[in-house]
Every structure is written in C-alpha cells, then in structure tokens.
Amino acid sequence: MLIDQKAIDFFTTEVILAKVNAEVDSLLAQEFHISGYPTSVLVGEDGEEIDRIVGYLEVDDFLKTIVDYQNGIGTLDDLLARAELEPDRELYLEIAEKYKYRGGSDEARNWYQKVIDAGEPTDSLSGEGRMSLADMLRRAKEYEQALEAYGSIMKDFSGEMIAQDAEIWRAIAYRQMGDTTQAINAFQEYIEHYPESEDVEYATKQIDKLKGVEPGT
C-alpha cells in the first residue's frame, strides 16, 4: 500500500500504476522475465520496456529513478551509449545487471566477462563479475560449471568475504543438483571454515534436512 503522499501524487498524475501478481499473471511475468520481487517495470506508450527497478528503494530515490528513466537517464540504452565512448568497468557491471534482470543471459555473461577482462582477475570488480557469472550458471542448472567457478573464487579470494560467499553457494549448488553427500560435506566444511558466520545456522539446518533429521530432535 502506498502511504507516502509524494508517491501517491506521482502515480496519480505522472504515470499509470498497474500492480500485477506475477504468480497469478504468470504469462505477463514470463514476458517481462520477472525473476525477483519486487520488480517495477517502466514501459512507454508503445508497451516497450524503458527500464526497470529490481528491489526496494527509498521513496525519493525510487521516484527520481523513474523520472530519470523517463528522460533517458540511466537506462540500458543510455549506459550502452556511454560504454561506447569510454571504457568503464563499473559501467560494464551496471549493464550486465540490467541484462540479467531482463532475461538477457548471454548479453549479461558477455558484459560480466568484460568487467573481468578489463581488470585484474582478483580485484573487487572482477570478484563481483565472477560471482555473478557463477550464480547465472547455477540458476541455469549448469551445476558442474558453477561448482568450478565457485571453487576458483574460493581459491583466488582466500581470506576475503567473497570466498566465504562462494563457499556457501557452492554447498547450495550441490544440494540443488541433488548430490546429497557432497552437499552435506560442503555445508559441514563451511561451518568448520566460518564458525562465526551468520550463515552457520542456515548451513546446519540444511545438513539436518539432507540427513532427514526432524527439527528439534
């Protein structure tokens, strides 16, 4: 429910707001490649997407982003045009994210790879790009490649937070591919390596589920 008067006024006078339950109107959700909630898609009078906002923003930031998109600022087309003028790895990362959320997996992978190729393989931006590529492989059920990618990140970024993230997702990938033994081992290794992590409780619950242990027993 909209309770901020600025937002109410904006969606009353500036744009037409249509709220869609993606689980009910699944065809529309598929058409726009909705993969996360909430997703706000701004479309023009011709029904073509201008751009989208994935996740939550504060009201002022949300409304500013919509206005910017209406003016062609910060849209995918705008970012692509800027990328042609000068190399910018952070810009490449933004473009990759936009393609990913639009369902353009091949384009997203290409731009993530540009981020990596334009820098050092173990700098922070490459780490983001490599994790995103690994995540895309996992979501596409290309598990063997995803596991290899997570393992490589764990090795190259040892001692850094991104290695910790890669290790928990590696365990999740094993679980999703149905390899119960490897998943249990991977979750147990995560707990051993990061006993102070906030994800230890999650990993422990996953181990219990994989072993068929009932909660509280």
Residue 128 domain-assigned (yes or no):
no
Give a yes or no: residue 66 inside a domain: yes
Q: Could you tell me if residue 64 is inside a domain?
A: yes
Q: Is residue 63 part of a domain?
A: yes
Mean pLDDT of 159-173: 97
Residue 65 has pLDDT above 50, yes or no: yes
Non-local (6+) Cβ contacts of 34 within 8 A are: 22, 41
Residue 132 lies in a domain: no
| Residue 217 predicted with pLDDT over 60 | no
Is 116 within a domain? no
CA distances (Å), 86 to each of 23, 76, 80, 81, 205, in order? 41, 16, 10, 10, 48
CA–CA gap between residue 64 and residue 69 (Å, rounded): 9
CATH of the domain at 21: 3.40.30.10
Q: Single out the residue of 102, 156, 98, 106 nearest to residue 127, CA to CA.
A: 156
Strand partners, 52: 41
Tokens standing for residue 111: 């731009």
Q: Is residue 18 part of a domain?
A: yes
Domain boundaries, position 25: 5-70
Each residue of 27-62: pLDDT tens digit?
777 777 777 788 888 888 888 889 888 888 898 898
53 Cα distance to chain centroid: 12
Q: How many domains does the chain have?
A: 1
Q: Scanning the structure block, which residue is given the tokens 């990362």?
A: 93
**pLDDT the model gives residue 216:** 47
Residue 102 in any domain: the answer is: no
More confident position, 127 or 24? 127
- Please tell me the number of Cα atoms within 13 Å of 88 on its side-chain side: 12
